[in-house]
Structure 1
């Protein structure tokens, strides 16, 4: 009873809002449905809350690694069904990444230096999958670490993997700021119309996509560099937290100007 009352109160509160700050439409379908029920006529302004702090994140040129280095700090969560309280939208598609790496190793035979973090629901399942795919000797597992240490791993890597499932690239934006190509599901169907610009993220949905990107990036240092540069520029242009401040400032000023008119 109390939960139902709370939800109803929440709906009433949101319905009075002139501005709703939420993820871009399409990322969380259940949230989109919730807003559509509250605003059936679509009579509200939606601010696409999707920004990162950019200050202090400098560009770093590609490292001179003897062996191509991969880093992923995405939590391992991919094997369904998910437990209660977890949504299928949280699927990170780590199995796609692992199978793509295995396909690359099979097709091209180049060694890789792979670094993962032990976090998520499916660490053991991931280790077993890696064993079955035959490249556990190339993988180094790390415990959770402070963000500064995480940055150091990003800078030492040639490429960073993000989610390949139903979610969206988020933490990978920091890797892009630091000048690293990111392989992941870029959700171009959402972000390219929204931002009116093609994504520099190495978009991948399948193991074959992952394999193709690894082949391109390991074979072409110039491509590795260029994607890193364009990735940083893309984040600075579209995802700088300063854009949020400017948006809210302009929105409030416009509202006040209308009241005074």
Structure 2
């Protein structure tokens, strides 16, 4: 496939879909470069993680004119009614802006609208992960049907009907990626199912743009100074609890939370003067709480409800050591924020190193077993080592996880 023409500033760039408000980091970058941007928010206020005002200090509610709130009961309705949905947004955007052509950046199930956006000048699918490697994976339909038909509104439907609808959604989601001009997805080697889907799309002529980045916009008000030791060692893990239940049928999303708990329990037998902060999010929270009790660390654990990113960043800042996943998944924003703030990060970096995205020499406290976690906690008792890892982490994240290089492949900042 030949070089694709990059998008200039004469185009209106429309963002649709906002899982974890991740697409907003690209929208803000483009606005800073002088692009005309329209960003749709479809999540309800109680979906804290997907509302941009909970992540980005420059976005307030009520929203500025370029951020449009149009709530959906469920994004799953989009691939069930893609033609109607596309027609609605065409009418609305034309009424709002007068534009007949624009570039679409589609996240989540909005990707399924791509075949029906014939009036778009370009269609870019921006994947957050499972919207492609689970819901766009036609080879994994049976596992998805088994795991998901008792969730969302499917649980109210007869099992055969739920199964047929899920299969329809997967087929339409894949077709949406196939009819996109470009797909932004994680580097090869992160997820076997995702690699398979991406290879099929590449074979169909779709441009693949690799992404593994975070935005530093939400972090602008944070301090990056080293936290001097206090009487209690503060440990924070913002990792979603997903280690034994995989309703989407992809065990590659295993976060290894059970290993984190077991490693902390090993360390707790050595040092009781610790405080562990967990967030109640994910399918396996109850299993995690039971494991903490079984291993005798529940007295040291503080459980937090899901929160705005600003509140979560306060937990980061108060911590001495942080965790990202130690299972089969990869280091994402949870770990990226820790690195940016200079917090020693215990995580499994194997997928990043093995895929060549990160060098093997990096500041991650690499672990994928309970014993390795405990060993790192013992090493990090040394304040000088923590300080050294902190400084290396800040330099590393700036070199390897900023979003500018991804946009440069698609947009012409000099146009």
TM-score range (shorter-chain normalised) is 0.7 to 0.9
CA distance, structure 2, for counterparts of residue 142 and residue 50 of structure 1: 27
CA distance, structure 2, for counterparts of residue 117 and residue 52 of structure 1: 20
- Alignment-derived partner of residue 259 in structure 1: none
Is the contact between residue 276 and residue 301 of structure 2 (CA under 8 Å) also seen in structure 1?
yes
Within 5 A, what are the aligned runs for 1:1-261? 6=172, 9-10=175-176, 12-14=178-180, 17=181, 19-40=182-203, 46-55=208-217, 56=220, 57-80=222-245, 82-83=246-247, 85-106=248-269, 108-170=270-332, 171-187=334-350, 190=353, 193-196=356-359, 198-218=361-381, 220-249=382-411
Is the contact between residue 347 and residue 367 of structure 2 (CA under 8 Å) also seen in structure 1?
yes
Pairwise CA distance, 1:5 = 6.5
- Provide Cα deviations, 1:22-75, integer angstroms capped at 9, x if missing partner: 10001121121122234349x776422111112415422124321111011111
Residue 214 and residue 145 in structure 1: after superposition, are their counterparts in 2 closer, same or farther (change >3 A)?
Answer: same
Query: Taking CA–CA contacts closer than 8 Å with sequence separation of 6 or more, which of the two structures ends up with the larger relative contact order?
Result: 1
Residue 226 and residue 248 in structure 1: after superposition, are their counterparts in 2 closer, same or farther (change >3 A)?
Answer: farther
Moved more, 64-73 or 29-38: 29-38
CA distance, structure 2, for counterparts of residue 147 and residue 120 of structure 1: 16
Q: Please, what TM-score do these two structures have when normalized by structure 1?
A: 0.83
Q: Cα RMSD (Å) of the superposition? A: 2.7
SS at match of 2:188: coil
Residue 122 and residue 175 in structure 1: after superposition, are their counterparts in 2 closer, same or farther (change >3 A)?
Answer: same
Q: Which blocks of at least 5 consecutive residues in structure 1 are unaligned?
A: 257-261
Pairwise CA distance, 1:197 = 5.4
Q: Please, what TM-score do these two structures have when normalized by structure 2?
A: 0.54
CA distance, structure 1, for counterparts of residue 170 and residue 337 of structure 2: 39
SS at match of 1:160: strand
Q: Which blocks of at least 5 consecutive residues in structure 2 are unaligned?
A: 1-166
The alignment covers a number of residue pairs equal to 245
